[in-house]
Each structure stands twice: as C-alpha cells, then as structure tokens.
C-alpha cells in the first residue's frame, strides 16, 4: 500500500513541477527577445541580457529535469521496479529543499519504500532473472 502511495505522490509532484516550468520557459524565452529589442545593440546591455537569460535557462532546465525524474521514479515504483525505488530515493534528496511538501514527500518515500514494506527479492523481475543464471 505504501509503495503505491509513494509512486502516485512522485507522479503528482513531478507534474506540479513541470507545469510551472513550461510557463517559465515561455516567459524567459520572451524575455530574451524583449532584452534584445530594448538594448538596441548596446554591447554591455546585450551581454548582461544574454547572461541573465542563460542563468534563468539553467535554473528552469534543472527544475524541469527534477520534475521529469520524479515522474520516471513514480512510474518505476508503481511498476514494481528496483530502479524506481532507487531513483525515488535519490530525487527525494533534492525534494528535501522543497519545504514543506517536498520534505514530507522525502520522509515518506524513505519510510514507505525502505522501512514499511521492503519488497522481497523475487518481487523484482530483473533480480529474479539474474538469480536464475
């Protein structure tokens, strides 16, 4: 039961991360165009605008990556894959800084996946296939 809840929560958290990221990408893409037009070729202002746009792109891209990773982790946990547990635990380290919801999700992920219901080895198909050889 805890595994299913953790998987769904990671899917929801990833979706709630990705939706604002799409809006920010549109906003910052437009910001680059406005800066290019407003500076009218002034080299100092153009350099500052390009630097700001690059910094904002890196921040938005890293948020998009964490959201996508959370969706992948949620799907892996729901499918019962061992890598899903590992990815969900790893992304939970990042979610510790998303206070208060991310912190609660991180704590529940560790509890739900590793303490409440540790799955037996045979629950993972890839582990079972490796043990047959």
Q: What is the pTM of this model?
A: 0.74
Cα separation, 105 vs 16, in Å, equals 13
Q: Which residue ranges in the chain fall short of pLDDT 50?
A: 121-122
pLDDT of residue 118: 62
Query: Contacts for 50-57 with beta carbons within 8 Å, 24 or more apart?
Result: 53/28, 56/24, 56/28, 56/31, 57/28
Q: Is-contact 89 112, C-beta < 8 A?
A: no
Question: Nearest-5° angle of CA 57, CA 59, CA 61?
Answer: 65
pLDDT of residue 33: 72
pLDDT of residue 54: 83
Q: What is the pLDDT of residues 96-110, one digit of tens each?
A: 998 899 999 999 999
pLDDT of residue 121: 47
pLDDT of residue 40: 78
């Amino acid at each position: 039961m805890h595994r299913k809840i953790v998987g769904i929560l990671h899917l929801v958290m990833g979706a709630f991360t990705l939706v604002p990221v799409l809006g920010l990408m549109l906003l910052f893409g437009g910001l680059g165009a406005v800066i290019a037009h407003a500076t009218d070729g002034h080299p100092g202002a153009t350099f500052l605008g390009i630097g700001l746009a690059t910094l904002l792109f890196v921040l938005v891209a890293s948020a998009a990556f964490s959201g996508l990773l959370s969706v992948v982790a949620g799907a892996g946990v729901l499918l019962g894959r061992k890598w899903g547990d590992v990815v969900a635990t790893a992304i939970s380290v990042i979610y510790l800084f998303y206070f208060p919801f991310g912190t609660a999700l991180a704590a529940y992920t560790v509890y739900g996946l590793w303490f409440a219901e540790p799955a037996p080895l045979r629950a993972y198909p890839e582990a079972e296939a490796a043990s047959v050889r």
